[in-house]
């Protein structure tokens, strides 16, 4: 943001507006200037610690998760700021720390340490039952107990009679006999497809069950298609492409496609010039410094 800072935008504007900043770390603690690539931000809050097998190095999650989650938090904050502008007639300053956003998603780490003083580690390569994805005929799946299924239902779903033995009937027993549990589950799924497993688990047994889908699978997912999740748009650089469009459905406020995602700097003149009042010379200077 060098050269275009809050002090610039805090002066009286031609129109009330919101100001959104996303930082790798918390600004008020003086650490906002720290460089923070996605893997560093996630590593600082221990999200990488449990994302691999115990005997291997920490594993980075797919994509830029801190930026995805931070962007979502920033979008919600921006919407709230726009609403406040409409109601109060004043602009709002929304400040988002990616570090804080990731820390807030640690639904297992925090209670595990706070309640029992334990630290969640990386998964064992085997014997951790539903702690990792498992192989079936045409891909991978993941499951866990709970939902609307009793253990007897789960044992019946996977098939092998040995799963009905008393040693697997309790949580403690399934931990102690984890390697045998893995072996029996894989025995019961090696000739079954992801889709058959998923439909049977969810529709007949009400299990907590998921499958690992690749981008191509998601693009052809009948569930997402039925909800009009994707929209084909014309992009000035990429061309015609299918993109995520309707994340949720609200009958009284339906999603409407207006224009493709902006190109880098496409609206600089509109925002910086027309809204913030920067003249052409100032914008050229900012561009020369790599700010915009």
Distance (Å, whole) CA 233 – CA 57: 41
Tokens matching residue 202: 């969810």
Across 245-292, the runs of DSSP E, i.e. the strands, are: none
| Alpha-carbon 76 to chain mean position | 15
The reported pLDDT for the residue numbered 125 is 61
The reported pLDDT for the residue numbered 38 is 63
Cα angle value 290/92/265 (rounded, 5°): 25
What three-state secondary structure class fits 189? helix
The reported pLDDT for the residue numbered 97 is 84
B/e letters for 1-20, b = 16+ CB within 10 Å, e = fewer, are eeebeeeebeeeeeebbbbe
Tell me which residue has tokens 């390697």. 179
Tokens matching residue 169: 């009937």
B/e letters for 155-172, b = 16+ CB within 10 Å, e = fewer, are bebbeeebbeeeebeeee
The reported pLDDT for the residue numbered 144 is 87
Could you give all domains of the chain from N- to C-terminal order, each with its CATH number?
15-124 (3.40.50.10540), 129-212 (3.30.1540.10), 264-292 (no CATH)
The reported pLDDT for the residue numbered 37 is 63
pTM flag (> 0.75)? no
Instruction: Burial-class residue 183 by CB neighbours within 10 Å (0-12, 13-18, 19+).
Output: middle
Instruction: List the chain pLDDT tens, one digit each, 292 residues.
Output: 334 444 554 444 444 555 667 667 666 655 555 566 666 656 655 555 566 666 777 666 677 778 888 888 888 888 888 888 888 888 788 888 887 887 777 777 777 777 878 776 666 666 655 567 899 999 999 998 888 899 999 999 999 999 999 999 998 898 889 889 999 999 999 999 999 999 999 999 999 999 999 888 888 888 899 988 998 888 888 899 888 888 888 888 888 888 888 898 899 999 889 888 899 999 999 889 988 8
Distance between terminal CA atoms of the chain? 8
Torsions phi, psi of 218, nearest 5? -65, -40
């Amino acid at each position: 943001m060098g050269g275009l800072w809050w002090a610039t935008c805090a002066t009286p504007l031609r129109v009330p507006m919101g100001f959104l900043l996303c930082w790798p770390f918390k600004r008020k603690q003086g650490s906002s200037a720290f460089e923070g690539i996605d893997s560093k931000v996630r590593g600082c809050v221990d999200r990488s610690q449990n994302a691999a097998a115990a005997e291997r190095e920490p594993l980075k999650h797919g994509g830029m998760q801190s930026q995805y989650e931070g962007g979502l938090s920033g979008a919600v904050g921006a919407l709230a700021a726009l609403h406040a502008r409409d109601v109060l007639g004043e602009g709002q300053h929304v400040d988002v720390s990616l570090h804080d956003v990731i820390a807030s998603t640690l639904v297992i780490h925090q209670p595990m340490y706070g309640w029992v003083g334990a630290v969640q580690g990386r998964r064992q390569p085997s014997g951790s039952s539903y702690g990792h994805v498992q192989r079936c005929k045409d891909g991978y799946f993941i499951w866990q107990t709970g939902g609307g299924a009793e253990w007897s239902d789960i044992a019946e779903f996977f098939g092998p009679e040995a799963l009905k033995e008393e040693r697997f009937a309790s949580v403690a027993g399934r931990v102690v006999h984890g390697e045998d549990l893995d072996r029996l589950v894989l025995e019961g799924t090696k000739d079954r497809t992801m889709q058959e497993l998923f439909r049977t688990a969810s529709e007949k047994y009400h299990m907590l069950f998921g499958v690992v889908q690749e981008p191509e699978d998601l693009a052809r997912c009948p569930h997402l298609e039925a909800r009009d999740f994707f929209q084909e748009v014309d992009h000035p650089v990429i061309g015609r492409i299918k993109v995520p469009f309707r994340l949720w459905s609200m009958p009284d406020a339906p999603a409407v496609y207006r224009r493709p995602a902006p190109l880098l700097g496409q609206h600089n003149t509109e925002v910086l010039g027309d809204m913030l009042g920067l003249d052409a010379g100032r914008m050229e200077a900012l561009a020369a410094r790599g700010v915009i």
